Each structure stands twice: as structure tokens, then as C-alpha cells.
Amino acid sequence: MSRFILIIVLGAFITYSITSLTQNKNVTQATENSVDNYAQTKARNVANSTVQLLMSQVADDYSWRVTTPVTKQIFDGEATYTVTDETFDGEDLIKFSVTSIVCDDTMKVDVYAKPMDYSLGFIAPATVSTSNNVSTLGDITIDGRNHKADGTLIPGEGTYGIWTTGTYTQSGSSEIGGTYMGTDYVPSNPADPNIIAENQTWPGGITPTTPEEMFTNLPNGFSLKEYAKSGTGGSQYVTDPSLLSHPLSGVTYVELPSGDSWTSADIEGSGLLIVHNDSLDAILTNTKDNFAGIIIGDDIIHLQSNIIGAVISITENPSAGNTIGNSGFSVLHSKQVLQNTLMEIKPRNFGFAQNRLDVKHWFE
């Protein structure tokens, strides 16, 4: 009888031991799985959060790139990242590449994005647009074909060379080029009539009398003058152009006294340059140095700078026949420069999780 009891006790002990070992093994495996899952989730969160941080940086400064890998400690993990320009699926995009490590677990994330089209409804229809009869002299070149910011030609995506509510006169050895219906026209003299638009009407049928009226999507009451006064992004407001700091950036607003002119105008820099007063007779003349962006002036005479972007003269009564250019420089159309310029003007507030970049692809 005692032997039988011993066998029962021994069997129970063995069964308990096996059950206990199995339970311990299951608990250990569950713990390991939990740790692995935590590490994987944490690594994923670190990688995706890093991408969001990088996108915010680019949204604040569209030229910001990181071509050499950088490693930082982020949220109890480690992230190595680059921000580069790449062509993907036929588009020129910004690539955010992040590899994160948490507890030996690794997550790789590649995101392709581009600036959102916050165009502000910019209505200028050509490389040079005017509300008056316009002419060119000398050997200036105005080219409405599309160019990258570095001047590289992008075929078939351009616009008119000259657009005017009046008539255009081409004199001297000046040359005009552009794009019409997808066909590029190399700058020439005489210019092909397809890329010269005369006797036009501004979109909406109203001739702009303020810089704000060149945009259809500005928030109600938004003032470019007040924005310039804020200093955002290097913006400046002056009534005396000699007080400007160079290079220009953001919104540069020069409000001249009625009938006054900014002569030998140093426009070195980029962004949105406005030369305007309520009388529509602020004169911008004999420019010097290079500019990338948008120039909106009341009365623009004798461009003598290399400009990439767009030029708009809004007065209907120019002081000198509005000879827009008379020298050996060039005005080139660039969608990239226009977009970059308009993206730098931020009249919107962006809340949490509101992207300022258009995400095209997100790979994990």
C-alpha cells in the first residue's frame, strides 16, 4: 500500500514538474514575444516619428537636405537618416530614408514626398506679365520655357514669354521664347507669335491694383505689407531701398513715395519682391544682381539682371513706355522657383498631424 502511495505521489510530483516547466516556458516565451513586439513597435515608432520630424524641417526650409547619414538618439532608440533629392516613378521627389534600432530590432522606412501646392492662387500667366503696352530693347532674353532652379531646361512644360493687356513691341536684338500647347519655342527675334499673348484680360476680369490681387487664395484680410513687416523668413519692409539687407529673402516690400523710383536697384536674393504704393507709380528701374522668385512692381523699367521666376508690372500708365528690359540679361520661367517662393509665404497655421508636404509613397 505504501509503495502505491509513493508511486502516486511521485507521479503527481512529475506531473506538477512537467506542468510547471511548461507554464514557465510559456511565460518565458510570452515575455520574450512581448519584449520583441515592444521593440519592433518602438523601432517602428522611432522610424516614423523621425520621418515626421525631418518632414517638418523640410517644410520650414525647402532647400534643407542631409546627404551624409546622420545618427541620433531619438525616443529611447537610435535613428540614422538621410534626406535627398531623387526621381521616383517619374517624379522629382524628396526621399526621407530612416533606419531605427531599439533593443537590437531594426526598422527601415523610406518616404517620398514633395512640397504641397499651396500656390496661393498666383494668377500671373507668363514669364513677364503687364497691364500695359510693353516693349523690349537691347539684347535681353525672356524665356517662358520651364526651367529648374539651376536653369536646366524642362521640355514642354512652360508658358508664354510675354503676356499683356495691351500690345508688345520687340526691338533691338531682344529675344523671346516660351511654350504653347506643349511645344517649346527657342528664344528668337522675331518671336513666334504663339508665345506672345496680347490684348488679354486678367483672370476674373479685373486688373490688379494691389500685390494681394495677384493671388486668389490669400486668407481674407491678409496683408503682404504686414507680413513683410513681421520679418518672417527674412522678410523686410522699407520705404527707403538703401536700408535693405542682402541677400533678399521671404517677402521684400518696398513702398516708395508717390512718383519716386528705385534706381540702380540691387535685387540680389530670392523670394517675393514688391515695389508698390497706393498711387501705382512706384518705379523699379535699372536692376542689378541676380534674383530668383517673383517680382511685382507698379512700373518696371530696364531690367538689367538675371531673373528666374516671374515679373509682373501692374500699372496701366507706365512712366517710360514700359521698356521692361534693355540689356544682355535673361528672365527665365521656372515652376520650381515659383513654387518654392510661394511655399515660403505661410499665411496658414498648421496644427498637429497636418502635413506641409505631399507624401507620394511610404514604405516600411
52: phi then psi, degrees, rounded to nearest 5: -60, -40
Angle at 288 between CA 134 and CA 334, to 5 degrees: 65
List C-alpha distances in Å: 166 to 197, 202, 318: 9, 11, 12
Residue 335, number of CB atoms within 10 A of its CB: 17
Amino acid of residue 74: I
- The DSSP annotation for 150-219 comes to TS-EETT---EEEEESS-EEE-TT-EEEEEETTEEEEEESSPPGGGEE-S---TTS----SGGGGBSSSP
d(CA 154, CA 197): 21
Alpha-carbon separation of residue 297 from 30, 84, 218, 231, 347 (angstroms):
71, 36, 19, 20, 21
Per-residue pLDDT in tens (0 to 9) along the chain, 364 residues: 566 676 666 666 666 666 666 565 555 554 554 555 777 888 889 889 999 899 888 877 777 899 999 999 988 889 999 999 999 988 889 999 999 998 878 899 999 998 766 567 788 889 999 999 999 988 899 999 999 999 999 999 999 999 999 999 999 899 999 999 999 999 999 999 999 999 999 988 889 999 999 988 787 888 999 999 999 889 999 999 999 999 999 999 999 999 899 999 999 999 999 999 999 999 999 999 999 999 999 999 888 999 999 999 999 988 876 788 777 799 999 998 998 888 777 665 444 445 567 788 999 8
Question: Which pTM does this prediction carry?
Answer: 0.70
Question: What letter represents residue 331's amino acid?
Answer: V
Query: Count of residues for the chain?
Result: 364
In whole angstroms, what is the distance from residue 18 CA to residue 64 CA? 62
Would you tell me how many other CB atoms lie within 10 Å of the CB of residue 30? 10
